[in-house]
Structure 1
Amino acid sequence: MTVQSLPNDDLPLPSPFNPRLETAPTQALFDKVTQWLWTGKVGAIVTGPARVGKTTALETIRGQLRDRHQRRVPVFMTSIDRLDQPSVKSLNWQLCADAGIRTTQRQTSYQLSTSFAHWLIDAAHLGGVRQIVLFIDECQRLTPHQFDAFADLYNRLRAKDRFLLTIFVGNDQETGRMDRFISSDVYAHIRGRFFRERVTFCGLRSLKEIRHCLAQYDARSHSSSHSYSFVEQVLPEARDSHFRLQDAAPIFWRVFRDYQKRYKLTDWGMESFTITTNTLLADFLPRYGLSHLSEEMVQEAVCLSGLVASQVSVRA
C-alpha cells in the first residue's frame, strides 16, 4: 500500500497533532496537576516513553487549569534546548526568549532571572490569581546546577506573595542520569522541592480507550465552518452510509495486541496511534474503499506509524 496526496488543501489530515484527542491518560494528568495546584505543591515530574503523547497532553490541559476559585491559572511552557555548554545563564536566557522578553547580551544571569520572574508576576496579576504553573519539557537535558534556577524563581515569586508550581517532563529512558544526581545528598534541596511527586504518563492500553479515540473522529469537526466530522470530510462516501470508524476499534485492538506480544510493548503511544488512524483515513480508505478496512490494512498503517522503529521504511 502506498500513500497519496490529498487534492483538497482544506482537509484536516494528516497530522500527528490533528485532531487533538481527549484520552484517559490526558484526563488523569489534568486531574493530578489540578490536585498539585490545589494542595500547594512546589514541583513534580512527569515521565513516560518517547512519543507517547506527553507534550501534546500538556498543550491540551494548559488552558484548562483553574485554582480553587475556578479562576484560570496562567501556564508557561517551554522545551529545554540541547546545548553543548548548558549553564544557568543559558537557561534564564531561554526562558526570557520563549516568554518574548527583550534581553541584551550584557545582562547577567541574575538580571535575566529577575526579568522572567517579573514577567510571571505580571501574568498572575493580569489573571487576578496568585498561582502560576511552569511546564518544563525535555527536563533530562538540564544539568544539576540549572535546577537551582527554578528554586530561585520560586523564592522570588514567594517573596511577592505569588506561588509557582514547576512540573518537569522527560523521557523515562533518558531520566536515569538525572535521577542519579538528584539522589545525591548534595541536591537534597532540589529533590525535596521538585521530585517528591512523580507521575508516569502512558499511552492507550485498552479496547475501550481506542474506541473512545476513534469515536472522536466520527463526531468532531476540525473547524466551526464545517458541519462534517473528520471521517465525513475526508471520506465523503461515509456521509450516506452507516460507516463509523469507532466500529473498527476491535480491529485496531487486535493488531496492537499482536504488536504488544511480539515486541513487549506496554502501551500504544498517541503519536503512533494518530498517524495510524490518519494514514487509514487520508490514504488507504480513499484508495481501497470502506469495505476493505481490515487487519492487514491497519497493520500496514501501524508499520508506517513508527510504533516499532525498525519497521519504518520509505516506500514508493
Structure 2
Amino acid sequence: MSQEQRPDNDALPDGVIWTPEIESMVQWVALLVRIDVPGAEVYGKMRIGKSFAAAYLRETLSSVVGYPVEVIAWEISENSEDRPREFLQARMVESGYRAISPRDVEVLKDRFFPFLVQRCAAKGTRRLIVVIDEAQNLTRRQFGYLVGYFNKLTTAGLKPFFLLIGQPELGSPIDLNGVGRDMQIVGRFRVNQHHFRGVALERIEDVLKQFDCSGPDGGPPESMTSFLPQAYSNGWRIVDLAPALREGVLLVKQKHNVSDEIRLPMQFVRSTISAYIHRLAHSDLNPAHASAAVMIDCMQECGFLNVFSYYAEPVSNEGGKQ
C-alpha cells in the first residue's frame, strides 16, 4: 500500500484511550471531591498513562461528580524554579493568565487568585480542581507555596482540591513521627493516595475495543480503514489481537521467570499494536490469525522487552486507595 493512500501515517488514532485504571482513578477523585477532601496523590510507574489519565479527568470530572467543576493543570518540571515569584508566574501562565510582569509576588497573587475565582464563576461553581503533573519534582519549599495558594483560594470563597500526580516516589509511606509543621502538607495533599497501574492482562479486550470505536461517531478510526480496509470490511477488529498479545506477554514472563503480575504500560500497548498493524499492512499475514510469536517480535521492536520486568507488580498489590 502506498504512503499516499493513507490519510494518517499513524496506524492508531491519537488522543486519550479509556482504560479501567483511568476509570478507577476518576471515580476515586470524584468521590474525594464530593466529600470535600482538600487534596490527594496519584502515583505510578513511568509510561503507564498517568498524564493521559489526567487529561481524561479534566474532560470528564464534572459529569462524574454530577455538577460543574473548574479544572486547571500545572506541571512541575525537573529543577523547576524555586523562587516564589518565578514559581507563581509559571503557574499563572499554565492557568491561562499572561499578565505576569509585576515583580512583586503579592501583586501577582492579588491578580491571579481573583482570576481563578472568575473562571469558577463562569462555570457556576466554587469547586476548583488543580491537577499537578510530575509532582514528584516538588521541593519542600514548593509544597509550602501550594499550602499558601490553597489558603488564598479558600479565603477567596473557593473550594479547592489539589491532585498531585507523579512517579512512585510520590507514594512513599508517610512517617508521622516528628512530622511537625509538615502536617500542613501531609494533611492537605498526602493522606489519600492512589496507586495507578498499567493494564491488567484480563482487561486487554476492554482497552483494545476503545481503538476500534475511536473514529467519528464511534465508528472505526479512519487510519485503520486505510491501513487494513479489506480486513475491516470483513469484520476484523483490533480487539481480535487481544488473545495473541496476552499469550505473548505470558510467554515472555515464563521465559524470564517473572512470577509477579505484569501490568501493561499504555505506551507499549499502543506501540506493540501499531507495530503489528504495520506488519499486516506490508505483508501477506492474515489479520484473523494473530500470532503470539509475531506479537513478541513487535514487543521487542518497540522496546517493551527491554523494560519488561520493570512493570512487574506483586500479585498482592491491588493498587487503588490507600
TM-score grouping bracket, smaller chain normalisation:
0.7 to 0.9
Match of 1:38 among 26, 34, 37: 34
Residues 30-77 of structure 1: CA deviation (Å, up to 9, x unaligned): 101110110001010000001110110110121211289833311111
Change (3 A) 1:155 1:214: same
Equivalent residue, structure 2, for 1:21: 17
Change (3 A) 1:206 1:176: closer
Equivalent residue, structure 1, for 2:315: none
- Counterpart amino acid of residue 190 in structure 1: I
Equivalent residues of 2:31, 2:65 under 8 A apart:
no
Matched, 1:57 2:53: yes
| Partner SS, residue 75 of structure 1 | strand
Change (3 A) 1:28 1:257: same
> Percent of aligned positions with the same letter in both sequences?
20
- Cα RMSD between the aligned structures? 3.0
Q: For 1:183 and 1:271, how far apart are their aligned partners in 2?
A: 40
So what's the TM-score if we normalise by structure 1? 0.84
| Partner SS, residue 288 of structure 1 | coil
- Counterpart amino acid of residue 290 in structure 2: L
1:266 Cα shift? 3.5
Matched, 1:213 2:207: yes
Equivalent residues of 2:212, 2:219 under 8 A apart:
no
Q: For 2:66 and 2:60, how far apart are their aligned partners in 1?
A: 10
So what's the TM-score if we normalise by structure 2? 0.83
Equivalent residue, structure 2, for 1:314: none
Match of 2:300 among 299, 303, 308: 303
Matched, 1:171 2:164: no
1:142 Cα shift? 0.9
Match of 1:253 among 222, 246, 249: 246
- Counterpart amino acid of residue 297 in structure 1: V
Equivalent residue, structure 2, for 1:102: 98
Q: For 2:81 and 2:49, how far apart are their aligned partners in 1?
A: 29
Equivalent residue, structure 2, for 1:277: 273
Q: For 2:269 and 2:47, how far apart are their aligned partners in 1?
A: 10
Equivalent residue, structure 1, for 2:320: none
- Counterpart amino acid of residue 301 in structure 1: C
Segments of 5+ residues of structure 1 without an aligned counterpart are: 312-316
Once structures 1 and 2 are overlaid, which stretch shifts more, 24-33 or 74-83?
74-83
Change (3 A) 1:66 1:121: same
Query: In the comparison of the two structures, how many residue pairs are matched?
Result: 303
Segments of 5+ residues of structure 2 without an aligned counterpart are: 309-322
Once structures 1 and 2 are overlaid, which stretch shifts more, 142-151 or 99-108?
99-108
Equivalent residue, structure 1, for 2:190: 195
Once structures 1 and 2 are overlaid, which stretch shifts more, 125-134 or 228-237?
228-237
Equivalent residues of 2:11, 2:224 under 8 A apart:
no
Equivalent residues of 1:218, 1:230 under 8 A apart:
no
1:229 Cα shift? 5.8
Change (3 A) 1:6 1:89: farther
Change (3 A) 1:108 1:132: same
1:183 Cα shift? 7.5
| Partner SS, residue 132 of structure 2 | strand
Equivalent residue, structure 1, for 2:143: 147
